[in-house]
C-alpha cells in the first residue's frame, strides 16, 4: 500500500467535518504544518501499531463478520459524515486480525 501524506489542508478538512481523532496507518506522514494545525484544533493524531506477524490466510468471512463490517462502516460514516478513503480495507484488516 502506498504511503499516505497528510497536509495542513487535509487536517483542516477533517477538523471542518468535526473529526477529533484521526487513526493513521503506520507509514502515514503528516507534514509539520499539518501537525501544528491538528494541535491547534485539539485533534489527536494516532498511528496504528505496525504488525510484525506474517499474514495468515483466512477463510471466507461468515455472515457475522459481514454484519459487523457493515455496522462498523455505518458508525464511522455517521461520525465523519462520509467514508474516508480505504475504510472498507481497514475494517476488513482489523476484523481479520481480531479473528486470528
Q: What does the domain layout of the chain look like in residue ranges? A: 1-50, 57-100
Cα–Cα dist 81/46, whole Å: 20
Whether the per-residue pLDDT at 38 is higher than 70: the answer is yes
Residue 32's contacts (CB-CB under 8 Å, 6 or more residues apart) are: none
**Average pLDDT in the 27-40 region?**
95
Grid cell at residue 67: 454484519
Condensed to tens digits (0 to 9), the pLDDT of residues 57-96 reads 555 555 566 778 878 888 888 778 888 888 888 888 888 8
Whether the per-residue pLDDT at 48 is higher than 80: the answer is yes
Among 92, 9, 16, 14, smallest CA distance to 46 is for 14
**Average pLDDT in the 21-48 region?**
94
**Average pLDDT in the 24-53 region?**
91
Whether the model pTM is above 0.85: no
Amino acid at each position: 500500500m502506498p504511503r499516505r501524506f497528510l497536509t495542513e489542508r487535509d487536517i483542516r478538512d477533517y477538523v471542518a467535518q468535526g473529526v477529533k481523532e484521526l487513526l493513521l496507518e503506520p507509514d502515514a506522514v503528516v507534514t509539520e504544518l499539518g501537525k501544528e494545525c491538528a494541535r491547534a484544533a485539539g485533534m489527536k493524531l494516532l498511528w496504528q501499531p505496525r504488525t510484525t506477524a506474517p499474514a495468515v490466510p483466512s477463510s471466507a468471512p461468515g455472515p457475522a463478520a459481514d454484519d459487523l463490517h457493515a455496522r462498523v462502516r455505518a458508525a464511522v460514516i455517521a461520525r465523519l459524515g462520509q467514508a474516508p478513503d480505504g475504510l472498507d480495507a481497514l475494517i476488513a484488516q482489523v476484523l481479520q486480525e481480531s479473528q486470528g
